[in-house]
Structure 1
Amino acid sequence: MNKFIKLVLTVTLILTLLLPSAITIFAAEDDGNDYPIILVHGNGGWGRDEKSGFLYWGGNIDIQEELKSVGYEVYTGVVGPFSSNWDRACELYAYIIGGTVDYGKAHSEEFGHARYGRTYPGLYPNWGTEDTNGINKIHILSHSQGGQTARLFAQLLEEGKQSEMTAVLGLNPSQEQINTAITNGTLSKLFTGTCNNWVESVTSFASPHDGTTMANSVNLSGNLLGLFATPAGGLLMDTVTGLNSQENYSFDLKLDQWGLTKLPNESCYNFFIRALGSEMWEGTQDFSNYDLSTQGATKMNQWVEDQPNIYYFSYSCQATKKGWLTDLHFPDSNYMNPLFNANSLIMGSYQNYFENVLGSKWFPNDGYVNTISEDGPTLGRTTVNIIPYDGTPEKGKWNHMGILNKTDHEDIIGRSTSTQMGDLIGFYINYVEMLQGL
């Protein structure tokens, strides 16, 4: 018995000495992070105080608040629903950190709209500051066009934009001149390339990294088709269903930079129709329809790079099935939202052979975006940085999480007509847990 007791005591002593070291080593290798989550909506999106409380992120389910209820810090970013990715990135910067939107002197002069926009209090004013744990970063979760916006946003944060600095300060300004311009508000810090390492990860859900052929067909057909074939048609649907007759209904186009603002006592619907008829839509590439086209996406992909210090993740969606006799794809009535059927049929048969790449492989879609476009940027790239996610993510590459079959464009954000996503909140909780383990 004495020998047994001695053995137990010896083993206990050894474990007591070894376990703290083992635990310390594990903690050092897997410290994780508690960076806030920023949700970035897509084309036609809206803020939490719009559409009578029907949420972009979740519909009747509140993804933001559900994540907050289990301890995560989550904010919903709000940008122009039909603005270009450049304008949206500038708006997102001001919306997160606080201050007045600066669209850039060079950009605003090139496209003929106001340089400055709205002023925001800021979702996360400490963003980019340093404490004992290092830089206060963010994770970005984006949907649809939000993925393009997030990529361009990360590019500006990391590398700035030389043309904007030159427009304000001329060639080869000193660091002191740059700092002074930032301080006095004549140059946005976003354009200076001094916001390095402010983003830990970018995730895109069903994003048109290479554009969508739906936008191609809209651009060819004019504004009237565009009204029904893009998320803008949702505003008309709100009218049909009576949603916009509710007292607290609002849908903000956020086109102040173009001089378009809602008049006193003007309904959202009438303002939208007036805005749609504006001449400003003609002949400009500074709007979402161009950026969402394969041509616009290609142009953006040529200068927006995958940053080597950022994790990129992507999810693809598909809710079509191949026809019996042809390669054409048709909406799967069991899973596709019926409101997306017209879009899906167009994309399921659209062949433009733009740059000799848009063939039948572009037919599978989720009702708004071609599935092939959702894993990461390829058009216009000399190097494609897309890899299948194997449990160990790589920075500077698009870690593709796979295709969610039988899932349409809005299922993944909870605005669903099917139960294919299952436990949506569980999906988001598990995913954010993974991000905070990076």
Structure 2
Amino acid sequence: MIVRWWITTLQLTELFVSSLVHLVYGFYIFSSAVAGDLSQALSDCFYKNSVEVSLKSEDSKENLTSTKDLPPIVLVHGIFGFGKGRLGGLSYFAGAEKKDDRVLVPDLGSLTSVYDRARELFYYLKGGQVDYGEEHSKACGHSQFGRIYEQGHYPEWDEHHPIHFVGHSAGAQVVRVLQQMLADKAFKCYENTCENWVLSVTALSGAFNGTTRTYFDGMNPEDGKSLRHVSLLQLCRIGVIIYDWFDIPWLKNYYNFGFDHFNISFRKIGIWGLIDCLLGNAGPFASGDWILPDLTLQGSIKLNNLLHTFPSTYYFSYATKRTNKVMGITVPSGILGIHPLLFIRILQMSLWRHPPDVPPPYKGYRDEDWWDNDGALNTISMTHPRFPVEHPSQLVVKDSDCQPFLPGIWYYKIVEGDHILFIVNRERAGVQFDLIYDSIFERCRKHAFRNNPTMPNHII
């Protein structure tokens, strides 16, 4: 009887956790894709149809004898995302990693701040124990040290062995923060880091300038930090705290929000610690050290104040849009082709009005600039870093628009699609999936080696 009760309890717990994860994904990007749920047959379908990318180089190199000589391409997931090995082996990038022999898919905190994720990404590649920094850790109320990587996934990484990064959504901003940390030599015991450790940055629906969706989901537009008392994000906050407090190992291996360094397990804080977290007195949501404040317009502008575009790095961005103008009014571009979970959000974001009693986030702000969107991010936010200072950029309509492809410029292309078009479910994107990823990987391989900068020697 006791065994039966225990089994039933575990089943109910798993059902609750799975429902929570799916619900949270639904708030943002891809719950129904995950609810398609870990089908190995689907994964096989992903991989079977993968198209091999040509490894040709713009200038042939005699010493390029094997793929081991090529810089790796690192795919960085976005909010609520996951890396290799999570969710039963489901691929966040829908199997795109199978298109090249030198691709890495790190598993970073899905809800942790952009800062914390950038630190985790560094140690994932170099190896060692994640060090979040003494000052930051004390300010945010979490442990200074986190996960240990006994062996880095690319320990030789340096200026002479740089890396291509491809980031989806918030993952693109994570890469920018990491590059700035490298330029600032922000990692203890690594005095030789510099911005040239990053060879190229490619963004898929990159969250460079924030999103108005954060306000619909519960962030206060007054400060871009606090949560409204009744909102979807409050439900998310409560669910995540309870999930981490139960700290069930096999469930955390299945999916992890990334807050282990906050030590909110019942083993460490007990029932009173849980109550303290739920009341908003402790934990990541109390300190603001989580991803949503970074995705508000205010939070993104604060981040962008510290980030540069470097003259020796190649930048390319794909900005997605699922809206059209009809008689001067911005509306969703049809129903077919838009994920059902995103349709309402696309409509809401296309009607966004900044509260008249709240100061605008930047000088020259206009609501209409932010109406085009993909259901999660505003299109204006995805093209290139714009606020508070606009970085060098060029719109790409045809591939010839960026020939030759120069470093130090954000080349960007507008793609008709919602925010989850190129992740999780490959079949939704159809032919576009291969066209986009093939062009990304081919571009990386054409610039496998850094040439001398052709741009003026300045940093934006």
TM-score range, shorter chain: 0.7 to 0.9
- Larger deviation: 77-86 or 218-227? 218-227
- Give the gaps of 5 or more residues in structure 2: 1-57, 221-226, 241-249, 269-273, 355-359, 448-460
Deviations 1:139-177 (A, max 9, x none): 00100000110100111112234xxxxxxxxxxxxxxxx
Which one has the largest radius of gyration?
Answer: 1
Query: Hey, what does 2:16 align to over in structure 1?
Result: none
Distance in 2 (CA, whole Å) between partners of 1:151 and 1:26 is 28
Query: Hey, what does 1:349 align to over in structure 2?
Result: 351
SS at match of 1:27: coil
**Amino acid in structure 2 at the alignment position of 1:384:** H
Q: Check 1:257–1:414 CA distance in 2 against 1; reply closer, same or farther (3 A cut).
A: closer
Query: Hey, what does 1:250 align to over in structure 2?
Result: 254
Residues 123 and 152 of structure 2 are in contact (CA less than 8 Å); yes or no, is this contact kept in structure 1?
no
**Kindly, what percent of the aligned residue pairs are identical?**
27
Query: Hey, what does 2:3 align to over in structure 1?
Result: none
Q: Check 1:358–1:53 CA distance in 2 against 1; reply closer, same or farther (3 A cut).
A: farther
Query: Hey, what does 2:85 align to over in structure 1?
Result: 49
Query: Hey, what does 2:441 align to over in structure 1?
Result: 432
Distance in 2 (CA, whole Å) between partners of 1:308 and 1:55 is 33
Q: Check 1:26–1:148 CA distance in 2 against 1; reply closer, same or farther (3 A cut).
A: closer
Query: Hey, what does 2:96 align to over in structure 1?
Result: 63
Query: Hey, what does 1:212 align to over in structure 2?
Result: 211
- 1:413 matches 2:423: yes
Q: Check 1:275–1:35 CA distance in 2 against 1; reply closer, same or farther (3 A cut).
A: farther
Distance in 2 (CA, whole Å) between partners of 1:74 and 1:370 is 29
Distance in 1 (CA, whole Å) between partners of 2:276 and 2:90 is 24
- 1:194 matches 2:193: yes
**Amino acid in structure 2 at the alignment position of 1:432:** F
Distance in 1 (CA, whole Å) between partners of 2:178 and 2:219 is 25
Query: Hey, what does 1:149 align to over in structure 2?
Result: 174
Q: Check 1:229–1:354 CA distance in 2 against 1; reply closer, same or farther (3 A cut).
A: farther
Alignment of 1:2-401 (within 5 A): 27=60, 34-58=70-94, 62-64=95-97, 66-68=98-100, 72-129=101-158, 135-161=160-186, 187-189=188-190, 192=191, 194-217=193-216, 218-220=218-220, 222=228, 225-227=231-233, 250-261=254-265, 279=281, 280-322=283-325, 324=326, 327-330=329-332, 332-352=334-354, 353-355=360-362, 356-381=364-389, 383-389=390-396, 390=401, 391-400=403-412
SS at match of 2:154: coil
Q: Check 1:89–1:278 CA distance in 2 against 1; reply closer, same or farther (3 A cut).
A: same
- Larger deviation: 28-37 or 75-84? 28-37
Report the alpha carbon displacement of residue 48 of structure 1 after superposing the two structures with TM. 2.2
SS at match of 2:196: coil
Distance in 2 (CA, whole Å) between partners of 1:223 and 1:52 is 34
Q: Check 1:201–1:423 CA distance in 2 against 1; reply closer, same or farther (3 A cut).
A: same
Distance in 1 (CA, whole Å) between partners of 2:379 and 2:444 is 24
Residues 314 and 406 of structure 2 are in contact (CA less than 8 Å); yes or no, is this contact kept in structure 1?
yes
Distance in 2 (CA, whole Å) between partners of 1:115 and 1:291 is 20
- Give the gaps of 5 or more residues in structure 1: 1-24, 162-181, 236-245, 265-271
- Larger deviation: 89-98 or 347-356? 347-356
Deviations 1:331-355 (A, max 9, x none): 6311110011232222111121433
Residues 340 and 368 of structure 1 are in contact (CA less than 8 Å); yes or no, is this contact kept in structure 2?
yes
Report the alpha carbon displacement of residue 393 of structure 1 after superposing the two structures with TM. 1.9
SS at match of 2:293: helix
